[in-house]
Amino acid sequence: MSKRKAKNKKEPKEQKKPLSHKSTYKGKIANSSLSPDSIMNQKPNWKFRSLDLDFPWGFSKQGAKDDFNKVVKKLKNFEHLTWAEIDKNKKWNHSILISKMSQPARKRLEELKIDAGDQETLYQLRIAQKERIYGIREHGEFHIIWWDPEHKANPSKKPNT
């Protein structure tokens, strides 16, 4: 007599957790203490579900197609690097305190329910001269929030001004 396999009941699909906007990355990690599983040894994964297209600057503006192509090309280049390698250039790629960002940026983050109470920092990636991408780095993923072609969300403080 052949044994018949009992049909397994289908298990319900696991629900995806919404982005908490709380970063698990808390700052500097010495290279010597990195475990193989550390996010610093991982290559970035880009997430676009938090992308804010309605902010005054960014991809929603007229003529943004060329900007979008430039950003995608740069993100593709970053994919060849680990987070530790990206972090080496602290002048351009680094965490930013939300409290230090421009007033319009802070206000928009509040509207998006990403404020200093939830999230103390955003991460900035330099795309070109003034151009930046801002987002939340969480578990090796980078949740892109803004494309800032004029560096208005976190303007540079020039010395002696």
Q: What is the pLDDT of residues 69-126, one digit of tens each?
A: 889 999 999 999 999 999 998 889 999 999 999 999 999 998 888 755 667 999 999 9
Burial state string for 74-90 with b = 16 or more CB within 10 A and e = fewer than 16 = bbeebeeebbeebbeee
Confidence band for 19, pLDDT divided at 50, 70 and 90: very low
Domain boundaries, the chain: 49-148
pLDDT tens-digit profile of 118-156? 679 999 999 998 899 999 998 889 999 998 888 889 887
Which range of 57-61, 66-70, 149-153, 154-158 scores highest in mean pLDDT? It is 149-153
pTM over cut 0.85: no
Do 133 and 127 touch, CB atoms closer than 8 A?
A: yes
Q: Greater confidence, 38 or 24?
A: 38
Q: Is the pLDDT of residue 2 over 90?
A: no
Mean pLDDT of 45-55: 89
What are all long-range contacts of 61-69, with beta carbons under 8 Å and residues at least 24 apart? 64/147, 67/131, 67/147, 67/149, 68/147
